[in-house]
Structure 1
């Protein structure tokens, strides 16, 4: 069974996986057009770090993500969700500016401890869907960089991934995004996926919309 919303779909076995460890998943898609990317100045990141409080303290939302990661076989201590990884880096003072758009969603992720990913909509092919990987490497290529070299990986069987009709766009639900759909200086249209477990994502989505300064933005609730 699938839950469909236009260009998005979520397999119900992913939602059932979350429920099996006591959590309800919510996904919001922020679709933005008329974006103007470019170098970031780091101000959004600095403001987010200042507002987030103690980044080293345990956070209930990140603990929930650890539960879900373990449920599909990942090791959150080694490969944490993106929000936990960002907050760890910020706590160490190791959080460089990437570009204006990436800085915007990273700032929101740090502030609210919510995993967020951004995809260039022009690079997506067909339906973007949240599924459990089959383990068939030819059907699920994931292009990334390892030790400074471009490589193609495949997710583990049962791993939760985002993918489109071409291949995987993000591994371990929200751990690492691929290169093919990454936001670049040429990006003018994007989708930002905000993901939560037992939390209201509205404040995070509102902050993101303000930071994007797009010509048009709309929010779609996918779960």
Structure 2
């Protein structure tokens, strides 16, 4: 049965307009993005197929282009639209951080870092440069390494912080393996970055580890 034949209260778009986006399931939200299904499958059915194939909504967003294109009805146009949705979300969150003290909106930082790093296939290390009001002025990718490691040096972070006139810095890296526990090397590096920036009177506010849907704060766990 086509979605247009469903009772109005059960159609994803009408349900969203009536009750808000938070009331929809992952499949219903994805169905609104898809707009139409294919022969034999409604948009909701097709959304459920995608979720089953890639494991989760995040899995759909991070699916490789080739794998995504193998699903019936999915091609480069839909893949491009999906990537655009992610990038718009990242940019919207970054705009929020540029206008607000990140210490008063820590969840926005976590959400942004999650969107930025969780789908990377290799380990990446980035830094958020903050002004005196703790607003994000720029985002710098310091290194990109293998699946297991990205090399970062305190002097490199310090150089970027001075270049961007940062008063404070937040650093973050990802674990493509999905392991949300920092290694001894991660903890040691955090200490060295903190000490190196302190010599320049620049605060290291936090170091976040992104692993899958988890975002681990070094500061909250006493590593800063």
Into which bin does the TM-score normalised by the smaller protein fall? Answer: under 0.3
* Larger fraction in strand: 1
Larger-gyration structure (1/2): 2
* Larger fraction in helix: 2
